[in-house]
Amino acid sequence: MVRFLMENLGKSGCSIGDNFIKAVDCKRKISGGYVRGGGIMVCSNYMNMQDEVNQVLIHELIHAYDDCTAKNLNWANCAHHACSEIRAGHLSGDCHFKRELLRGYMKLRGHEQDCVKRRVMKSVMANPHCSETAAKDAMEAVWQTCYNDTRPFDRAP
Ligand SMILES: [Zn+2]
């Protein structure tokens, strides 16, 4: 999946330099991030398994893809940010059953969407431009559209 997303970034004319992906030591307890113009960072001090690294890369590559292909994407806009988080959460498999069990969440029915929503809220609320209410309203407003937008995949992997 990482390779597929990298290829699609290239095909979409998004510039990926040699240092697009960096392993860094993070002070805050986060797994990684994407910064426009700065590429993807993976917080290597919080990674224990290769699978976690892949997961972060896939999630952040979807942000990079959105940043490059969505016209006028504005990360300060809570709805724009929420949309990319919905896609990244849904398409990266962050919320696959197995991973949720590892986190101790056992509810089965509708668990995938609940999990994506929980993670979207966490990320968007960390955006200094978005309060909790703004994050929730934004997420709900764009949910249908963004959850069903599976580009560059034909359907959610
Ligand atoms: Zn994210």
Which pLDDT tens digit goes with each residue over 1-50? 999 999 999 999 998 888 999 999 999 999 999 999 999 999 999 999 99
Catalytic residue among 7, 60, 112, 132: 60
pLDDT of residue 124: 98
pLDDT band for position 108 (cuts 50, 70, 90): low
Residue 60 corresponds to which tokens in the numbers above? 């952040």
> What is the token pair recorded at 5?
């997303």
Same domain, 53 and 101: no
Q: Please state, rounded to an integer, the average pLDDT across all residues of the chain.
A: 92
Rounded distance from Cα 109 to ligand 1 centre (Å)? 24
Contact in structure between 33 and 41 (CB atoms under 8 Å): yes
For residues 59 and 86, state if they share a domain.
no
Percent of the residues in the chain that have a pLDDT greater than 90, as a whole number: 80
Instruction: Give buried/exposed letters for 93-122 (b at 16+ CB in 10 A, else e).
Output: bbbeeeebeeeeeeeeeebbeebbbebbbe
CA 143 remoteness from chain centre: 14
154 and 79 fall within a common domain: yes
Domain residues for the domain of 41 are 1-69
Q: How confident is the model at residue 142 (pLDDT cuts 50, 70, 90)?
A: very high
Residues 91, 124, single domain; the answer is yes
Domain count, the chain: 2
Q: Rounded to the nearest whole angstrom, what is the distance from the C-alpha of residue 123 to the centroid of ligand 1? A: 6
Domain end (from 18, 34, 69): 69
Place of tokens 């309203």: 137
Count the alpha carbons within 13 Å of 22 in the hemisphere toward its beta carbon.
14
Distance 96 CA to ligand 1 centre (A): 16
Active site residue 60: yes
How confident is the model at residue 100, as a pLDDT?
A: 63
Beta strand residue intervals within the chain, DSSP E: 21-24, 32-35, 39-43
pTM: 0.91
- For residue 13, the tally of other CB atoms under 10 A from its CB is 8
Say how many Å lie between the CA of residue 86 and the centre of ligand 1. 8
Distance 56 CA to ligand 1 centre (A): 9
